[in-house]
Chain A
Amino acid sequence: MNRLSDENLRARRQLKLSRFVVYLILIFLSVLSLFSFYMLIVNASRSNADLQGGFRLLPSNYFFKNLKNAWTDASINVPRGMLNSFIIAASTAVLATYFSALTAYGIHAYDFKLKKLAFTFIMAVMVIPNQVSAVGFYQMCVKLGWTNNYLPLILPGIAAPIVFFYMKQYMESVLPMEIVDAARVDGSGEFRTFNTIILPMLKPALAVQLIFTFVESWNNYFMPALLLDKAEMKTVPLMIAQLRSADYSKFDMGKVYMFILLAILPVVVVYIFLSKSIIKGVTAGSVKG
């Protein structure tokens, strides 16, 4: 009796200790994760001269001045850049998510001769970096007059192997074919079934991939840098790159940090807003091999 409670006590103490350690690790990693955001905010609140003077842990009072400077900068039109980035990222995210779900459903729900081959093909090309075909892609765009055009940045989103793979795995775990059969009995057309019955069931997965692809596209630099050079068409990452080349006399680091802050703000807001359903989405879509 006594020995048992002793053991119990030891186990409890052990659990307490391990819990303490785990929290310590979690807090450390969270601090590490938030540190860069914090630094950005602090730096965005400091004047250029102040920044030149070195490091500071506490925010200063230049925030709104920097905000005004950044927002109304004559040569770098942030609102315009954000709109451009948004058009590209939103379209890419919607296309990639929708068509990946459609493709995954096509392979998941139907039997056809080339099904296995199609699946194998997508899996095989998944690993190929986009940049590998950049030379040809750029030449093609130049030939077609597609430079300074958003379409070559958006349309390739329709073929997104990684998103497809995720959708396919998700469907395998949550999508029983009985539902499809039931819909057919009800006389629903295949395309309609997909749009009205299947898509809503995929909501969590769609949410996850929407934000993942949106973030990826929003942050993309390589391709837009090749294709866009008109000021009014530039995206946010291109503008940030341009900032670094500004005059040394006018090289206002406070403004630069503010630009970066503005550049990531929309994504952060959307993410925090959606984070619950995103995490739920990923967790619900427990991927099975």
Chain B
Amino acid sequence: MKKALALLLALVMVLSMAACGTSKTEETKAAAPAPAETQAATPAETEAPAAEEGKVFNIYAWNEEFKGFFEKYYTVPEGITVNWIINPSDGGVYQDKLDEALLNQENAPADEKIDMFLAEADYILKYTDSEFTQDIQALGVTDFSNTYEYTVQAASDSNGVVKGVSFQCCPSALIYRRSIAKDVLGTDDPAEVQAKLDSWDKFNAVAADAKAKGYYMTASESETFRVFSDNGTSALVDDSGKLTLNDSIKAWQAQAKDFSDKGYTLTTGIWDDECTAQMFKDGKTMCYFGPAWYFNFSMGNAQDPEKGCPGDWAICQGPQAHFWGGTWLLAATGSDNPTMLADIMDTFINDEEVCENLIKNESQFTNNQAVNAKFAADPNYGNAFLGGQNDVAVFVDLAKNIKFENKTIYDQLLCEGLQTYWREYCDGEVTEEEAMANYYKYINEKYPEIVTP
């Protein structure tokens, strides 16, 4: 009897906890900052405009890269809590969750409205060209004199209204292992290496030499994908909604299969452990491709002097100039913190101290041409990870080539899927027809509106 009662009681308690779980946490959440705020407000009651803004600043992101920079270099106004909503980018989860929240933005309580969200080059169009983002020039971000043209273009809608900024510029380079380059090419000097790898024909020929000496040219057959895809002459999906793989992509497909068959590369994903393990001391891979963010983000573990070989790397342009990725900060329509929103964006493109710190401490290539130029010209600056090479100078040159074109809102998943399903063909597990059929099925599942062959 007692036990049954206790059980029932526990049930009622837990249930009521759960029932209130939603409403109560919100209430307490909403109520919690209040005391702190009233305390803060009493001495400085005059600050009326700040009080009009929301107390919670919500940021949607897919990883912690920007969060780290934000927390280090941005001073959040007093009384405002920054709330990060992070969902994995893999498989489009981030986009799904973000879309859901944006569609619900109107009905959400002020403190739950998205204020700012992050987006990648692969799908930024979906958001800039929609009513879910707002004009940041109206909010007071007007100085784009130092930013790279393409970053502004990417963040603008079809009428040229700017909806956000990027805190980085992402020209991508060939990142090579100095010691292996010496062995294979006889030199590790960036200019000389560049001369020996400045076309795909040379690149493919060197791959054979590398193989002969027991090295891999790349650690993934998809390593060169972005170089090819960024140099394509048409978008993955044309205006009529048809999937079209341009010649550049087809060239990558041929190279991927060729490299896999001949053992010039490992067949594995560019984010897989096997690929990143090659960056360590006992790795046998000569080339990676990536922008400045690649050093921290993808090669982070290789920076550990015990496991990796910092200093044994260098960069040059490689077979084709290209850019890859980049994170934009977009202003969400309906934000209740417009002042802070504008302030953040302005800080990350125009605050010289912040931009300098991003280069010095975080190995970034910033979206501030003046700061970049300063580092590029500084004879004392060098990136220790790259053996003292001035990477900013290389990137300044490469940045001139960036064109933001032939993008669609579908690129992230279309690229992810193509690499995944083509890899099975490279592995020899399926025929070419099967690989493509599987890829088309995948597209039909993700984007029913795209017409596949």
Q: Which residues of A are at the interface with B, using a C-beta cutoff of 8 A?
A: 48-49, 52-53, 75, 84, 87-88, 90-91, 94-95, 98, 148-151, 154, 195-196, 199-200, 229-233, 241-242, 244-251
Contacts and interface: CB of A to CB of B under 8 A. Distances in A.
Q: Mostly helix, strand, loop or mixed at chain A's interface?
A: helix
Contact of A52 (B68, B97, B307): B307
A233 B24 CA distance: 12
16 contacts: A49-B301, A90-B14, A94-B10, A94-B14, A95-B15, A148-B22, A150-B21, A195-B1, A196-B1, A233-B25, A244-B90, A246-B63, A247-B65, A248-B301, A250-B300, A251-B301
B277 interface: yes
A87 B17 contact: yes
B74 to A, nearest CB: 15
A95 B67 CA distance: 41
A241 B88 contact: yes
A231 B64 contact: no
> Which among A75, A244, A249 has the highest number of chain B CB atoms within 10 Å?
A249
A230 B85 contact: yes
B331 to A, nearest CB: 21
A75 B67 contact: yes
B101 interface: yes
The 8 lowest CB-CB distance pairs between A and B, nearest first, are: A245-B88, A249-B300, A150-B18, A196-B1, A91-B14, A94-B11, A195-B4, A149-B22
A248 to B, nearest CB: 5
Contact of A250 (B11, B64, B87, B94): B64
A151 B22 CA distance: 9
Interface of B: 1, 3-5, 7-8, 10-11, 14-15, 17-19, 21-22, 25, 29, 62-65, 67-68, 83-90, 93-94, 97, 100-101, 271, 276-277, 280, 296-298, 300-301, 304, 306-307
B7 A94 contact: yes
Contacts of B1: 195-196
A98 B88 CA distance: 38
A251 B22 CA distance: 31
Given A94-B7, A196-B4, A229-B100, A249 B297 contact: yes
Given A98-B11, A151-B18, A199-B4, A245 B276 contact: no
A229 B85 contact: yes
A48 B21 contact: no
A195 B63 CA distance: 51
Contacts of A249: 65, 296-297, 300-301
Nearest to A238: B87
B102 to A, nearest CB: 12
A150 to B, nearest CB: 4
B101 A48 contact: no
Contacts of A200: 3-4
B15 A154 contact: yes
Nearest to B280: A52
Contacts of A91: 11, 14-15, 18
Contacts of B67: 75
A231 B83 contact: yes
Contacts of A48: 301
Given A75-B64, A94-B10, A248 B276 contact: yes
A70 B15 CA distance: 29
Given A231-B85, A244-B88, A248-B301, A87 B18 contact: yes
Nearest to B107: A145
Given A195-B1, A246-B64, A249-B300, 9 more contacts: A49-B306, A95-B11, A150-B21, A151-B18, A199-B3, A229-B100, A230-B85, A231-B86, A247-B65
Nearest to B277: A52
Contacts of A229: 85, 87, 97, 100-101
A215 B334 CA distance: 41
Nearest to A154: B18
Contacts of A154: 15, 18
Contact of B300 (A90, A233, A247): A247
Contacts of A150: 18-19, 21-22
Contacts of B97: 229
A59 B89 CA distance: 33
B8 to A, nearest CB: 8
A231 B18 CA distance: 16
Nearest to B83: A231
B276 A87 contact: no
Contacts of A53: 280, 307
B88 A242 contact: yes
A53 B15 CA distance: 47
Contacts of A232: 25, 29
A150 B21 CA distance: 7
Given A248-B276, A248-B297, A49 B100 contact: no
Contacts of B64: 75, 246-247, 250
Nearest to B303: A249
Contacts of B65: 247, 249
B25 A245 contact: no
A231 B60 CA distance: 11
Nearest to B10: A94
